A = this chain, B = another copy of it.
């Protein structure tokens, strides 16, 4: 399994990124990782026994900053690490790309290649969210802020395959984010998408509308929404989590007479377990290849997890299953692009 890893992308790059690659290589012996970035910074971080065997370097000289405009970054910095990762994928030198760098540049870089999976109209970013009934996938969280109903139908299909083969759900269910559960609720996109699901071969898996409060109750395995709403959901969860954990720390833990230390440790363990930023990254689904986008704050563990998920996606032939399912969906009717 060959993966290109953007060694320069992320708030803490390159050290924890390279460390994550080292840990992944030590755990998964069939992994070969190409670290894309500045050789002078990367080389000293690689243990000698992995150098040239499981880990090698693709040198490049530029980095798109985390807050840089993706479009400008891609244009003004042709030798940036994200573009080089995508280039390696396009040339079939790797099967997967992983980056904790500028998300917009990562998505735009992939879109530019136009190497979509057969039948895919628009790729979407899926992300894993913890719920009371285990992890679920929410798709799209930002690749496509103005989708058509047919795009959302495909997101449901891709999410279902992901839930089945990666999250190991036997019969994954799909829900559509809306402002109420009853049919006929919401704006045109929500109404039209609901009708499309109900008329499609996915109708057996489709549970209908779900509301914001249902997500964490574990209402379904795949939550479909447009990239605008999905992105707000993703970042809001981060913000609420951060806010409540601080409150608990201040208004509960700090007030305890005896168990302050124990409570603090339990709270930290819980934060580690559920912190949205430590998950193994979000797959950009619909690309011909595997692409994992990690949170900018990713450290060793998150990068190692992302590399491992990338390997798993390839092992279970995720893309092949997606193409097969898409083949069974009706061709979208006349819809403006």
Closest B residue to A68 by CB, please name it.
Answer: B182
Query: Which chain B residues lie closer than 8 Å to A236 at the CB level?
Result: 212-213, 215, 233, 236-237, 240
Query: Which chain B residues lie closer than 8 Å to A217 at the CB level?
Result: 239, 242-243
Query: Which chain B residues lie closer than 8 Å to A263 at the CB level?
Result: 252-253, 256, 259, 263
Could you tell me the distance between the alpha carbons of A257 and B177 in the complex, rounded to whole angstroms? 41
Query: Which chain B residues lie closer than 8 Å to A233 at the CB level?
Result: 212, 232, 236
Query: Which chain B residues lie closer than 8 Å to A187 at the CB level?
Result: 145-146, 228
Which of B69, B234, B257 interacts with A259 by CB under 8 Å? B257
Tell me how many chains of this kind the complex includes.
Answer: 2
Residues of A within 8 A of B (CB-CB), count: 62
Could you tell me the distance between the alpha carbons of A152 and B242 in the complex, rounded to whole angstroms? 28
A179-B231, A244-B244 provided; 11 other pairs, C-beta below 8 A?
A: A132-B243, A142-B179, A146-B188, A187-B228, A211-B232, A214-B235, A229-B232, A240-B244, A251-B270, A251-B273, A255-B266
Query: Which chain B residues lie closer than 8 Å to A240 at the CB level?
Result: 216, 236-237, 240-241, 244
- Whether B259 and A256, one on each chain, are in contact in the complex, defined by CB atoms closer than 8 angstroms, is yes
Query: Which chain B residues lie closer than 8 Å to A188 at the CB level?
Result: 146
Query: Which chain B residues lie closer than 8 Å to A216 at the CB level?
Result: 239-240, 242-243
Let me know if A267 is at the binding interface, CB within 8 A.
yes
Interface string of A253-278 (1 = CB under 8 A from B): 10111110011001101100110000
- Whether B212 and A231, one on each chain, are in contact in the complex, defined by CB atoms closer than 8 angstroms, is yes
Interface string of A183-215 (1 = CB under 8 A from B): 010111010000000000000000000011111
Closest B residue to A227 by CB, please name it.
Answer: B179
* A151-198 with Cβ < 8 A to chain B: 177, 179-180, 182, 184, 186-188, 190
Closest B residue to A145 by CB, please name it.
Answer: B187
Most buried by B among A186, A248, A263: A248
- Whether B267 and A262, one on each chain, are in contact in the complex, defined by CB atoms closer than 8 angstroms, is no
Let me know if A238 is at the binding interface, CB within 8 A.
yes
Could you tell me the distance between the alpha carbons of A257 and B231 in the complex, rounded to whole angstroms? 40
Let me know if A246 is at the binding interface, CB within 8 A.
yes
Chain B: minimal CB distance from A223 (Å): 11
Most buried by B among A247, A267, A269: A247
Let me know if A104 is at the binding interface, CB within 8 A.
yes
Query: Which chain B residues lie closer than 8 Å to A273 at the CB level?
Result: 251
